[in-house]
Amino acid sequence: MAQITMTQAAADQIKRLIANEHEALGLRVGVKPSGCSGYAYTLDLARQLNDDDHVFTHDDAQIIIDDEALHMLDGTEVDYVSEGLNRLFKFHNPNVKDECGCGESFSV
């Protein structure tokens, strides 16, 4: 069975994001072809569940991933970090074989 985990910081941020979005169910995480290494993560608020969605919950926060992206994200830990002035979701993905120099894309 596939597994996605999130830190408490990520769960707290997801809950903040959906607090004012009454239709939002959680954070939809996916991948798309992009960049010099092959793929980039995508993030959006999920407003509905599709038949091929998998839901991963921590402390009432939900990450939603479809079948197509799940095989590339299986085993990933999602974190929310501050790096200098930037705050962002960070992915600790054991499936990544290589990343581009700027960190925007990855290959599996």
Q: pTM of the predicted model, to two decimals?
A: 0.87
Q: Is 12 helix (H, G, I), strand (E, B) or coil?
A: helix
- Residue 38 reports pLDDT greater than 90: no
CATH number for position 9: 2.60.300.12
Q: Is the dihedral of CA 92, 95, 98, 100 positive or negative?
A: negative
Indicate the number of domains in the chain. Answer: 1
Where is pLDDT greater, at 36 or 20? 20
Where is pLDDT greater, at 35 or 18? 18
% of the chain surpassing 70 pLDDT: 87
CA dist 31 and 89 (Å) reads: 14
Please report, for residues 23, 36, 51, the alpha-carbon distance to residue 78 in angstroms, rounded to integers and kept in the order given.
22, 23, 23
Give the H or E element holding residue 45. Answer: strand 38-46
Where is pLDDT greater, at 95 or 71? 71
Instruction: Name the residue range of residue 27's domain.
Output: 5-107
